[in-house]
Amino acid sequence: MKNIYLVNYSVKGIKTLDELVSLSFYKKTITRNPDTQDYNIKGIYGMNGSGKSAIISSVDILRNILVDAAYLNNPIVQKNLEAIINKKLGELYIQADYMIKGANDPVLFKYMVTLSKDNTGRYVISREQLSFRRALSKSESMAVLFDVADGELVSAYTDEGGDEFYTDILNKTMNLLSTASVSSIFNKKFLDTKSNIPPKTKSVLWIGIFGLFAFGRRLHVYLDQSDDHTEYVAFNSLKSYLDSENYNDEFDSMINNLRDMDNDFLNVLTIRGNRVLKSLYGQYEETISKLYEFLHIFKSDLREIEIDKKENKDFWVCDLVMVYDGYKIHTEYESTGIKKLIKLFAYINEMVRGGIVFIDELDSNLHDVYLCALLEYLMEYGQGQLCFTTHNVGPMDVLKQHKKSIDFLSENHKIYPWTTNGNYSPSKLYRNGMIEGSPFNVDATDFISIFGAGAEDE
C-alpha cells in the first residue's frame, strides 16, 4: 500500500441521504504491514435514485474542505450546497477513517466534519474533529488531536515541545475556523510559505494536521456530467449577477477558479483548451504520449495524437487532434466513450500511483469487456484505491475476486455488502432481484399499460 489508505467512509445529509450510509474498505484487524492489495477496489451498485452519486458528491465536498481554505467563501459553492444538502436534516455530516503508514506502526485517524447554516444563512463548519490511535491496538481509545466547535478551537493535543505550535495555530486560525478547515488553513499559513518550519515545532499535532491535509490531497473525484452541477449553478449565478450593477471581473475569476477546483493537484486533460505552462510543456508531451498508448488499446486504428498549440503569454493553449490513416479529427468530434476515457486518464493514472479515487458512473459509455480488463489491471497493479458507482453487472464477477469489493445500496439508502456464498454469482443474483435491499420487481408486462402491446394487425 501507499502511505495513506481510506478504511471507512460515512455520510448523511446530502441529496436524499437522510440516514447515515457507511462504506467499509478494509477488514477490522489492522496488522503491522497491512495487505491492502486485496481491498483496493469497490463497486457500488444500486437502483436509480438510491444515492450512489450523492456519496461521490460528498467526497468531492470533503476533499475541497480539506485542501481549499477559500472553498466555503465561494458564493457558487454556497448555492450548490443550498441545493444538495438534505432539506430534512439541514446539515451535512461526513466521517472518514484513514490510516497512515510511516516508518513505524500504522496510525488510524478519524476525521469528522459537519456543515450547517449560520445565522446569516450561509453554510459553515459547525463542528470539526480529528482523533487518532495506534492501528494495531484494538483496546486503545481514540485520542482527540483537535476539536473545533462553532468556529473556535476547543481543544488540541499537545505533547512535549508542542505548546509553541499549538499557540501558533491558535492565533493563525482565529476567526477563520467556521469558513475553513484546520488542514486548509494549516496549508495556507504554515506550508504554503517560503519560510521553513523549525523541526522542534513538528509535534504530534503538527504531524496529524499535515497528515490530514495529505489525505485530502490524495482524494480525487470524477463526477458524471449529469451529477456535476457546477456549470448549472455557475451559469445561473453569473446571469443574475450580470443583471445587477455589481458585476465585475473578480466574480468571473471566482467561477473559473471553482471550475478548476477538481483539477488541483491532478493534471486532468480536457477535450480542448488545455493551459500548459511553457516550462512544463515537456511533461505535457510525455503525458499525451502515454494517453496515446492508453487510447490505442481501445482504438487500434489510432496512429498518433497531435498537439495543436497556441501561445498565450507564459502558457501554451493546447488542443488534441486524433490522427488516423488518411484523416485527422479534433477530439471535440470523437465518440463520447473516447472523450470520457481522455478525462478518466488522469484519475486512473493517479490510482495506479497511490491516489484514492472516486468515480461516478464509471461504466457509462464504456464497453464492459474493456471495463472488466481495466479493473483487473487496477486490482493487480494499482497502488491506490478506486471506488466507483455503476449499473453494469458485467464487472461483478471480476470484483468478487477481491474482498469488500461490492456494495449494494438499497432504495432506503442502506448498504448491503456482498459476501461470498458458495459458487453463487453476484451478477445472477442481482439480476434476479435476490440481493437483499435490491428486489427488482419490474416485469416486461408493466410497460403495456403505458406503450401498449404493439401495433394491432390491420
Helices 230-242 and 75-84: crossing angle in degrees, nearest 10, is 120
pLDDT at position 452 is 85
C-alpha cell at 447: 410497460
Residues of the chain short of pLDDT 70, as ranges, are 1, 160-162, 192-202, 225-267, 421-422, 437-442, 454-458
Cα 240 to the center of its chain, rounded Å? 30
pLDDT at position 455 is 59
pLDDT at position 308 is 95
Q: Give dist(CA 269, CA 350) in Å, integer.
A: 13
Residue 438 — φ and ψ, nearest 5°?
Answer: -130, 60
Q: Give dist(CA 362, CA 41) in Å, integer.
A: 12
- State pLDDT tens for residues 418-452: 887 667 788 888 877 777 766 666 678 888 888 88
Q: Give dist(CA 149, CA 127) in Å, integer.
A: 5
Strand runs labelled E in 164-302: 219-222, 274-277
Taken in order 242, 243, 248, 253, is the CA torsion positive or negative?
Answer: negative
| Residue 34 exposure: Cα atoms within 13 Å on the Cβ side | 30
The type of residue at 444 is A
pLDDT at position 249 is 45
pLDDT at position 254 is 38
pLDDT at position 278 is 93
Tabulate helix, strand, coil % of the chain (nearest 5): 40, 25, 35
**For the whole model, what pTM was predicted?**
0.87
Q: Give dist(CA 350, CA 63) in Å, integer.
A: 15
pLDDT at position 153 is 94
C-alpha cell at 223: 463526477
Q: Give dist(CA 78, CA 416) in Å, integer.
A: 33
pLDDT at position 28 is 87
pLDDT at position 233 is 45
